[in-house]
Amino acid sequence: MNKFNNYVVGIIMVLVLDTQLYAVDDTFSIKLGGLILAEQSTEISYGIDAVSTVINLEDIFGMETESQVLRLDGYYRFSDVHRMEFSYYRLNSSGSKTTTNDFLLWDGRSLSAGANVSSYFDYDIYKVNYTYSVYHSDKVEFGLGAGLHITAIDLGLNAQGTIDGVNLSSYNESTSVAAPLPVLGFRFRYDITSDLATNFNYDFFALKVGDYKGNIQNTTISLDYAITKNFGIGAGFDMYSLVFEAEKDNKTLKVNRTVNGGMLFLSYQY
């Protein structure tokens, strides 16, 4: 990994030294398209009094691992070196399945194999970032930024079956949470030709406060082609991961969420 990082830094330095600073010619840019999820995985670990259960929502509850998501990205420059970025996309997963194993429910009761279970995991992501262009030339832009990554989670579970040995029992549980989390960002753009450019964006966040801790990582790589001065098309790949842990009153909860997929989009800028 260190050799790879040194290699990337070396490429950036060569590109920087080979170009001259210039004034930017784009003020506003917006991309609208689809995030085609190739893989998504949600693993939840929870426990009461040191007795824990680990479940994978896709494997146990039959949630979809592939789907299509509408996504919006863009930015507005208010000077040559300062810009505000925004992004939004929503990930909805649901599924139903007859369980083949016993496992603990969130309230500590036991659900026997053969139960009918349905679940959903709705995930809204809002991002607002400020980016400062440390270096900007006619071919290269390198920026650092900070902002808010707002994640809204809505999670629910419904079960019909044998609970704690009682037949024909039912169980319903849902929870939701939304919080703005600070992130640090890295931006790199390289114009391969006058019409073709590649973009690399990376956001990271990690925090531990009291009984809560977690981290977010989001990497986006895209290739943008300008059809005209104002309109373009593009494709890319997006990798997102969230890890959240909480421990309170002898109860523990850990959520590990990963989402990987391709992107196709139309773009407009002026």
Q: Let me know if 22 is exposed, middle or buried by CB neighbors in 10 A (0-12, 13-18, 19+).
A: exposed
Q: What number of residues does the chain have? A: 270
Q: Which residue has the higher pLDDT, 133 or 102?
A: 133
What does the pLDDT read at residue 185? Answer: 94
Express each pLDDT in 82-117 by its tens digit.
999 999 988 777 788 888 888 777 777 888 888 888
Residue 12 has pLDDT above 50, yes or no: no
173: helix, coil or strand?
Answer: strand
Q: Which residue has the higher pLDDT, 182 or 68?
A: 182
Average of pLDDT values for 16-22? 44
Closest to 30 measured CA to CA, from 76, 69, 89, 77: 76
Minimum mean pLDDT range among 22-26, 77-81, 264-268: 22-26
Q: Predicted confidence band at 245 (pLDDT cuts at 50, 70, 90)? A: confident
- CA–CA dist 15, 23 (Å, integer): 17
What does the pLDDT read at residue 66? Answer: 62
**Domain range enclosing 151:** 2-269
Q: Let me know if 242 is exposed, middle or buried by CB neighbors in 10 A (0-12, 13-18, 19+).
A: buried
- CA–CA dist 170, 168 (Å, integer): 7
Number of domains in the chain: 1
What does the pLDDT read at residue 17? Answer: 45
Q: Which CATH number covers residue 28?
A: 2.40.128.90
The answer, as to whether pTM is greater than 0.75, is yes
Express each pLDDT in 187-212 by its tens digit.
999 999 989 999 999 999 887 767 77
Closest to 60 measured CA to CA, from 45, 79, 75: 45
Q: How many CB atoms lie within 10 A of CB 51?
A: 10
